[in-house]
Amino acid sequence: MSAPLNPDLASADAAIPPEVRAAWPRTARLRLPRTRPTELFSILFLLALVLAAALVEFIPGLERPNFPYGDFSQPPEWSLNGLLGTDALGRSILSRVLYGARTSLGIVAVATAIALSLGLLLGMLAGYHRGWVERAVDLYSNAMASLPPILVILALIAVVGNSVLTMMLALGILDIGTYARIAKGGVIAQNDRDYVLAARAMGAGDGRILLREILPNLVPALTAIVPPLMAGLIITEGSLSFLGYGIPAPAPSWGGMIAGSTDLLNRFPLLILGPVLAIVLTVYALNTAGDALARRLNSRERDG
């Protein structure tokens, strides 16, 4: 057996009586909540989905999404392309689901980056300077929260036109207010903390206080709400594609696949199995991941 790295510390630790060690408060031990099976499944599913969507072109044997693979609405079979069956044109549903995942996840990721960056900036300015900046941010946030998201996006599409870029910008605009409200509340709560007052007393500028002192304390709370908000964007994007205002054809999308199968559902109900499972499992996994992050954040705050 190898010798301990620090014999003095090892001997001192061994000299602590067991009754004293047992009396230590639990908050003195860094313990995070155990990972639940549903959380583990959600994390693994999201990792597998992101990897499959990013590397879908390199999956050996997988047919292109717009190339015919089998017969008209062929039932599922034990093969890579036929695992979920084929659609009305004989194309592999699994291939279209994975290619659609790349499009949907890419749009949602860019939209989240837009909403998070702008919402964080506006919320921090509103919480730090207050006054007219706060009133303007609150007005925008409340206005966006009061409007149905699909109607807002449809209005933007009617003005700008239907494209992937329009979808990214429209979905990003929806969540700016939510991130701004959370960031504003966090800044207001941090404004009177000792480390902020000390930095201000030492002559630190507003920019340094916001970026170096307050921003790191906002990251955990913002990180916990990103997955649920992304899940909401997945549903909104799928709804728009189902209505015909989402991803332009011929690019595959989950909502578009469901919309294209509605006329045949009476005879071929398995046509929507693939895209429906993709949407349901992705939304479930994102919400579960958000709950797990929030639970770990609360646990660290209690132990701290």
CATH of the domain at 245: 1.10.3720.10
Considering the domain boundaries, does residue 294 fall inside one? yes
Considering the domain boundaries, does residue 20 fall inside one? no
Domain that holds residue 167: 43-303
Considering the domain boundaries, does residue 36 fall inside one? no
Domain count, the chain: 1
Residue 266 burial (10 A CB sphere; 0-12, 13-18, 19+) = exposed
Considering the domain boundaries, does residue 265 fall inside one? yes
Average pLDDT over residues 169-180: 90
- The CA distance from 233 to 226, in Å, is 11
* Average pLDDT of the chain to the nearest whole number: 81
Quick check: 285 and 42 in contact, CB under 8 A?
A: yes
Considering the domain boundaries, does residue 18 fall inside one? no
Considering the domain boundaries, does residue 12 fall inside one? no
Q: DSSP characters for 174-228? A: HHHHHHHHHHHHHHHHHTTSHHHHHHHHTT--HHHIIIIIIHHHHHHHHHHHHHH
pLDDT at site 17: 54
Q: Is the pLDDT confidence value at 25 over 60? A: no
- The CA distance from 183 to 222, in Å, is 8
Considering the domain boundaries, does residue 129 fall inside one? yes
Quick check: 289 and 46 in contact, CB under 8 A?
A: yes
Range among 92-96, 148-152, 155-159, 292-296 rated most confident: 92-96
| Backbone φ/ψ region at 211: left (φ over 0), alpha (ψ -120 to 50), beta | alpha
CA atoms in the 13 A half-sphere facing the CB of 271: 22
Label residue 176 by pLDDT band (50, 70, 90): very high
Considering the domain boundaries, does residue 93 fall inside one? yes
pLDDT at site 20: 45
- The CA distance from 223 to 211, in Å, is 17
Phi and psi torsions of 66, nearest 5°: -105, 5
